[in-house]
Amino acid sequence: MTDRKLIWRLSLVVGVTCLAWCGLGVRLAALHLGSNERLKERVRRIRHYEKQILVGRGLIYDAENMCLAGTLKTKDIIVDPKRILDQGRMQAVASALTRVLDLKPGHAMKKINRPTRRFEYLERYVHADEFERLARMNLPGVIMRDSTARYYPHESMLCHVIGFSNLEGNGCAGVELKMDRYLRGQPGQRISQRDGRGREIYSQRLLGVEPRKGCNVYLTINMNVQYLVEKALLAAVNEHNAKGAWAVVQEVKTGRILAMASLPQYDPNIYRKSHEDEMLNRVIGYTYEPGSTMKAAVFAAAFNEGVISEHTVFNCEYGTWYYRGRPLRDYHPYGNLSAADVLKKSSNIGTAKIALLLGPARLERYLRDFGMGRRCGIDLPGEEAGILWPHRKWDSLMITRIPIGHSIAVTSLQMVCMYSAIANDGYLMKPLLVDRVVNDQGERVYQGESEVVARPIGLETSRMMRRLLGRVTEDGGTARRARVDGYDVAGKTGTSEKIIDGRYARHANIASFAGFLPAGNPEIAILVVVDEPHKFHTGGRVAAPVFQEIAAQLVQCLTIPPEGRDSVVFSEGEQLTRSDAETPIFEVQ
């Protein structure tokens, strides 16, 4: 090869190399100095890192600091079918996912076997135990994304009070809905850049807003009491083959709700599988004709007005009395009965005659003062007001029907508040369910206070009513089955027929018992309602035993002495009052 030829070839190689370098240099200069917005935007998009930090909602506690609702950090499991199929690992990945997540056979395979898809939700809200196992397996094409899920550790217990929140974390029922503005936290945010492996580069963090936890809500409910109530109701429903049952326990002096149960129930963890009927809180959302439990209000009004005394005698017409051409009947026929015995025997005729003496205007005023026809104002959504027509709209029969609990519709909460008022020297208390709301700094942002709503009757009337209602559970009364050993129980039974298709249904009854104890110095009021019991249908036969079962355990659970907490008899003839004993008593068992 000649030198000339060699020089030529060398020049060509050098020229081409220089040209290539020049090209690269020009491109580099163009990339750096030119506008290249599209490219810059693409790089920005790839490197951009934005993450929402979820904290979930605040917690809900009972009066004993037992957690009723909490938020779990979960993960959504997502699969990338194309990637899995490209790697030919469909079988292995599907079987691993099925095993760890306990999926239905074939479900994972069906989701993965979609070659064109890059994103498929396999399972949402997977708990820590499972997603940690899955993370350790390091399966290709399986992505885990942060999420939070509400968890109710007591499942169906207290479900109607707690309610539930949906998948987006919004309260949808019960306390979850009513206290949503407190429970709802504020998610944090991080804006930063990611590295080649998708991890955040801390030094490039532009924004880091810390999340704010939702406030914790403390209820007045005592879960031990709630359990006793639910257990007794469930036994009653099974025994009487009833359609449902509900009960509420209230502290007489403060209006605090200690338990509120309604059957049928649902599990808020799987609320989407529940029937609408199971979600109804019958204590506040179901109105019914209360029957004879309403009589207590009529007697209290008549005594308070001085229209009658306990010794006033009424002719109970031996079971049937015609008023304005329509018959009014007693369950058992009676002749002359004193007012005290009219209440004890639950005579409809005697009560109707007392209401006539009272007059419609005064009767309506007292019923409204006892809270009928308006919402009690409890911290729960969906409370019904009941129905009580103004007396000007009453027909001529209603003055004899309303006193016996017909032509009026009430909620169970209204009834228990009414009995609490009778027991509480006439003071009607607002039912208190939310005790306090505490933020993540430990500061109280809301404090529930006991509140007197009205005082329909005076002290003397209250005392008389406690005594007369106490006779109802004695021999000869309608509620002998409500007696609790060692305690004086006061209360009233009620039986009413349900209205179905606009007519009273003879075989569809509501049996109820409302009462309080100890009768002399009441501490707690309890209302029990059993819906459509079979075989037996009266309040005394069906609801009173449930009351007895609840009350007997309740006094032990809450350590209520037979004479009440204010007045403790510790030996014969000696008595202490609360002024002597400022601090609570303690027991040696």
Partner 1 sequence: MPRKKPNRRKEDNGAQLHAPMIAVLVLLAVIFVSFLYLGGRCENLGSRIKAMEIDIESIHVRVLTEEMKWERMKSPKVIRVYLNKHDLDMSWPGNERIYRIPMNKRRAFDPPEAQPDGTPVYNLARQDRRETRYD
| DSSP summary character for residue 481 | G
- Tell me if 553 contacts partner 1 by CB under 8 A: yes
Q: Which of 153, 333, 335, 476 binds partner 1 (CB under 8 A)?
A: 153
DSSP string, 312-343: -EEE-GGGEEEETTEEEE-SS--SEEEHHHHH
Reported as type and span, the H/E element at residue 552 is helix 544-557
| Assigned token pair, 300 | 């209290």
Residue 214 CA to residue 108 CA, distance in Å, equals 36
| DSSP summary character for residue 273 | G
- Tell me if 125 contacts partner 1 by CB under 8 A: no
Beta-bridged to residue 531, according to DSSP, are 244, 510
Helix (H, G, I), strand (E, B) or coil at 459: helix
Report in angstroms how near the CB of residue 72 gets to partner 1 at its nearest. 6
Nearest residue to 173 (alpha-carbon basis) of 378, 380, 435, 377: 380
With contacts defined by CB under 8 A, name the span among 27-35, 194-202, 312-320, 471-479 that binds partner 1: 194-202
- Tell me if 63 contacts partner 1 by CB under 8 A: no
Q: Which of 9, 127, 329, 534 binds partner 1 (CB under 8 A)?
A: 127
Name the residue type at position 192. Answer: S
- Please answer whether residues 407 and 479 qualify as being in contact, where contact means their C-beta atoms are separated by less than 8 angstroms: no
- Tell me if 581 contacts partner 1 by CB under 8 A: yes
Encode burial over 64-100: b for 16+ CB neighbours within 10 A, e otherwise. eebebbbbeebbbbbbbbbbbbeeebbeebbebbbeb
Q: Which of 47, 70, 82, 188 binds partner 1 (CB under 8 A)?
A: 70
Report in angstroms how near the CB of residue 385 gets to partner 1 at its nearest. 33
With contacts defined by CB under 8 A, name the span among 118-126, 244-252, 496-504, 580-588 that binds partner 1: 580-588
Q: Which of 24, 28, 128, 505 binds partner 1 (CB under 8 A)?
A: 128
Q: Give the position of tokens 């019960």.
A: 174
With contacts defined by CB under 8 A, name the span among 21-29, 415-423, 449-457, 555-563 that binds partner 1: 555-563
Report in angstroms how near the CB of residue 557 gets to partner 1 at its nearest. 6
With contacts defined by CB under 8 A, name the span among 196-204, 331-339, 439-447, 529-537 that binds partner 1: 196-204
| Interface pattern 465-494 for partner 1 (x via CB under 8 A) | --------------------xx--------
Binding to partner 1 in span 363-422, by CB under 8 A: none
- Order the strands of the 490-500 sheet from edge to edge: 257-263, 244-251, 524-531, 503-517, 490-500
- Tell me if 2 contacts partner 1 by CB under 8 A: no
- Tell me if 504 contacts partner 1 by CB under 8 A: no
Q: Look at the alpha carbons of 457, 458, 462, 464 in this order and tell me if their dihedral is positive or negative.
A: negative
| Assigned token pair, 258 | 């200690």
Residue 170 CA to residue 176 CA, distance in Å, equals 8
Encode burial over 386-401: b for 16+ CB neighbours within 10 A, e otherwise. bebeebeebeebbbbb
| DSSP summary character for residue 272 | G
Residue 525 CA to residue 417 CA, distance in Å, equals 8
* Strand pairing category for 216-219 and 60-61: parallel
With contacts defined by CB under 8 A, name the span among 67-75, 180-188, 341-349, 398-406 that binds partner 1: 67-75
Report in angstroms how near the CB of residue 521 gets to partner 1 at its nearest. 14
Q: Which of 35, 203, 272, 449 binds partner 1 (CB under 8 A)?
A: 203
Q: Which of 49, 151, 389, 394 binds partner 1 (CB under 8 A)?
A: 151
Helix (H, G, I), strand (E, B) or coil at 216: strand
Report in angstroms how near the CB of residue 234 gets to partner 1 at its nearest. 11
Nearer to partner 1, 222 or 400 (CB): 222
- Tell me if 202 contacts partner 1 by CB under 8 A: yes
Nearer to partner 1, 9 or 199 (CB): 199
- Tell me if 67 contacts partner 1 by CB under 8 A: yes
Report in angstroms how near the CB of residue 228 gets to partner 1 at its nearest. 8
Report in angstroms how near the CB of residue 195 gets to partner 1 at its nearest. 10
- The residues, ordered by sequence, that sit 6+ positions from 282 with a Cβ below 8 Å of its Cβ are 160, 244, 246, 262, 412, 529, 531
Nearer to partner 1, 49 or 394 (CB): 49
Report in angstroms how near the CB of residue 432 gets to partner 1 at its nearest. 22
Report in angstroms how near the CB of residue 570 gets to partner 1 at its nearest. 4
- Tell me if 71 contacts partner 1 by CB under 8 A: yes
- Please answer whether residues 293 and 513 qualify as being in contact, where contact means their C-beta atoms are separated by less than 8 angstroms: yes
- Tell me if 206 contacts partner 1 by CB under 8 A: no
With contacts defined by CB under 8 A, name the span among 65-73, 177-185, 460-468, 472-480 that binds partner 1: 65-73
- Tell me if 102 contacts partner 1 by CB under 8 A: no
Binding site for partner 1 (CB under 8 A): 66-67, 70-73, 127-129, 151, 153-155, 157, 199-203, 223-224, 226-227, 485-486, 553, 555-557, 559, 561-562, 568, 570, 576, 580-583, 585-589
